[in-house]
Structure 1
Amino acid sequence: MPQATPQVPGKLFGLFCLASYLLSLSYGATFLLSLLIGSRGGNEHDAGSVISAAMLSTFVAVLVSGHLSDWLGAARSIALFGLLLVAASLGFAMTPGFGHLLLFFGLLLGLGWGVFYTLGPIIVASLVSPAQRAKYFALLSGSMMTGIGSGPLLGRAASALGLPVTSAFYLAALASLVGVLLFWRLGARLKSTQAASAAKISWQATAQVLSSRAVFPIIMVGLGGCVFGGLSSFQTSYAAARSLDYSLFFLGFMSAAISSRMLIAGYVVKRDPLRASCLLSGLMLGSIVMFAFGVQSGFSYLLAAVMLGVGYGLTYSVINGLAANEAPAGSTSQALLLFSLSYFIGVFGFPLLAGKIIVDHGMATLLLTVLAVAALNWSITLGRLLWRRMKVESALTN
């Protein structure tokens, strides 16, 4: 008789989510880079270059994360590389101007965030049964998204108190250091609870995963990362152009992401994942339409952010579960590594293009570009639904 997956202790998982929240503040603070670099004489293209430097180092993070996990354990690997998130936040705050040194700290950010973002879901996948994954992925990603959304709010609070924007980066560094200590302390307990799981990636495993249905959620998370990275990284510029308060975006986005997970995530993850992802990615598309054409006031700005928080936040949880469950047998960890890699390409790579678009063609052109990406993302899940219906109808007629 196969051994049942053990029940995850609530206190243990709660500390895991708290540590994830604290580490995520360091990445969230990078959404203030456009504001910080602008105050030093740079522009959106310069900010996009710094953010996109992280894309290069995340490739390294994905490749080494499996070996690190086998050597130190997943949680302590996160703690070790979490120190790079601390260093990156301090570097952004302390480096004068907007020169090449900021690119170095962007690389550190990518290494630290890449290991954390890759190994976190793998820990969850090995702790719970396949039927529980979507629920626990939602809790983990909710904690991380809360931290990401809180980072820019630190900058707004600093501004309200008359402090420089660098204060937000110092606070993010301190929070991330606490997160590092928590992950190190949790390492032994998580390792004893965690099921054995091979987290290394190989060409054979990559080909196996990408030839399965898991390729669709992997593509979708990359496109969703483009939408999220493009909007969030330059939200300070978007808000300034419309005389709005950028904190409304992050407050609305974060609140929606948290409340949707608390109130409806349990319902959503029990539904048909293809229908759920189609509806939610459609909601995300609607939010981009609002950002492009419908934001005229603080209320409409907040409403668009809430729609994005619900649509993007819950879509991510659903497709994360799809990537794990649609992967070939024995390749769940590899599918999650590729899922994370696709996300990194979108969320870190797209801001370089987005910043250039803003500088050369304006914010309106960027919004149209993001709208096209969101439409492509929605069309994938719509196409899967239609294909499934055609197969069912064909089976019934035969």
Structure 2
Amino acid sequence: MSQATPQVSGKLFGLFCLASYLLSLSYGSTFLLALLIGSRGGNEHDAGSVISAAMLSTFVAVLVSGHLSDLLGAARSIALFGLLLVAASLGFAMTPGFGHLLLFFGLLLGLGWGVFYTLGPIIVASLVTPAQRAKYFALLSGSMMTGIGSGPLLGRAASALELPVTSAFYLAALASLIGVLMFWRLGSRLKSTQATTAASITWSTSAQVLGSRAVFAIIMVGLGGCVFGGLSSFQTSYAAAHSLDYSLFFLGFMSAAISSRLLIAGFVVKRDPLRASCLLSGLMLGSIVLFAFGVHSAFSYLLAAVMLGVGYGLTYSVINGLAANEAPVGTTSQALLLFSLAYFIGVFGFPLLAGKIIVEHGMAALLYTVLAVALINWLITIGRLLWRRLNVRTAPAI
């Protein structure tokens, strides 16, 4: 970004995070799809197909989001496509059975969520200095993950009140509509994002980003998306298999994500990002080990969820900052677009495979697969640390 980065007010950023939370409820409600489709006679593979339909439309969202931002401004682009999140939530609730119409609403979800998830960090990058990015990315992603975690809790509350699970989708649609209105009003106050953000993605800028060190953060977010999408999308099935309450997972995950940002995010973002990402991705790996082999009670289930919330949540914030700061000069926005695209491939694409694994081989096979993905993710951070140490040792000799 060529222009000076403005200072954002606390009130404005607070409204931005609140609107992000409300929009995120629509995506969070999709973690109830396995439960909803199961009640209509379908299975996890059917639910995975609906969720993965969103992956196709997110490609379109990533490609057009930059042009939309240049044309309308980032905030109002989010508001416009946020209406698709409202429509998707209503469609999931109102569509009978589990046929092809649900795939259509999955596509709408991908378009709406893709534009929002892509342009949100770009707005933040345009509002704060590079040194502040990790902190403000943590606050944004914390708001979004809180909304995502709240979505399934709406389903649990509906169940406690003896209401159908579709009630959660209706409430998510209402919350998202309020978020849409807030983003539209914020558009005039965030005009700077339109002028300072060159968000359109091209082959040449993509090649520059993927040829830089930012590629490691982009790969890691894709792998992390596989872990998060695979576990969260079928947590209702996991909990049922272990005779547990799935709300414990989302409550633990959400609480850990919020508290870690309030209490330790400021400390983490000031540390060495490579060491921090190694430690946090290791914690995420440990949580998967616990899910696979150590969950035998409500306490151990909650502990695994908390470990995942801290590990995944803070790792995401750290590597989001790495993707922005390790990209070549002038390609920050494009790096964030590719970062979002990799996340979408993981979080929306992996559930299709995950659902198939559950139906054909069982939940244990899925956990072993997720464990392998988390291990690869952690080994990337180990490799980067070792490579840096090797370069530091050889530099004086050269």
**Aligned residue runs from structure 1 range 289-308, under 5 A:** 289-308=289-308
Match of 2:13 in 1: 13
Match of 1:58 in 2: 58
- Measured after TM superposition, the shift of residue 3 of structure 1 is 7.1
Alignment partner of 1:371 is 2:371: yes
Q: Which residue of 2 aligns with 1:396?
A: 396
Q: Give the match for residue 337 of structure 1.
A: 337
Secondary structure in 2 aligned to 1:260?
Answer: helix
Listed as ranges, the gaps of 5+ residues in structure 1 are: none
**Counterpart-to-counterpart distance in 1, 2:35 and 2:191:** 41
Distance 2:163 2:129 in 1: 47
Aligned to 2:236: 236
Deviation at 1:395, TM superposition (A): 1.5
Do the aligned partners of 2:62 and 2:118 also contact (CA within 8 Å) in 1? yes
Q: What amino acid is aligned across from residue 114 of structure 2 in structure 1?
A: G
Q: Deviations over 1:241-276 (max 9, x none)?
A: 000000000000000000000000000000000000
Residue number in structure 2 paired with 1:351? 351
Q: CA deviation at 1:196?
A: 1.1
Separation of aligned partners in 2, 1:143 and 1:176: 14
Contact 1:127 1:194 in 2 (8 A): no
Following the alignment from structure 1 to structure 2, what is the Cα–Cα distance between the partners of residues 28 and 12? 24
Alignment-derived partner of residue 102 in structure 1: 102
| 2:142 partner letter | G
TM, length-normalised to structure 1: 0.99
CA displacement at 1:194 relative to structure 2: 6.4
Q: Is the 8 A contact 2:70 2:194 kept in 1?
A: no
The alpha carbon displacement at 1:6 in A equals 2.4
Shift of 1:195: 5.3
Question: Structure 2 CA distance, aligned partners of 1:68 and 1:124?
Answer: 17
Report 1:124-203 matches (<5 A): 124-192=124-192, 196-203=196-203
**Range 288-297 or range 183-192, more displaced:** 183-192
Code of the residue aligned with 1:148 in structure 2: it is I
- State the AA in 2 paired with 1:251: L
TM-score by length of 2: 0.99
Give how far 1:7 is off.
1.6
Work out whether residues 34 and 236 of structure 1, in 8 Å CA contact, stay in contact via their aligned partners in 2.
Answer: yes
Structure 1 counterpart of 2:238, one-letter code:
Y
**In the TM superposition, what is the alpha-carbon distance from 1:31 to its structure 2 partner?**
0.1
Instruction: Check the 8 A contact 2:197/2:333 in 1, yes or no.
Output: yes
Q: Deviation digits for residues 349-380 of structure 1, max 9, x if unmatched?
A: 00000000000000000000000000000000
Instruction: Please tell me the residue identity of whatever aligns with 1:276.
Output: A
8 Å CA contact retained: 1:126, 1:195: no
Contact 1:62 1:337 in 2 (8 A): yes
Identity of aligned residues (%): 89
Q: Amino acid of the residue matched to residue 45 of structure 1? A: H
Deviations 1:15-70 (A, max 9, x none): 00000000000000000000000000000000000000000000000000011001
CA distance in 2, matches of 1:153, 1:3: 42
Counterparts of 1:193 and 1:207 in 2: how far apart (Å)? 24
Q: Which 5+ residue runs of structure 2 have no aligned equivalent?
A: none
Aligned alpha-carbon RMSD (Å): 1.0
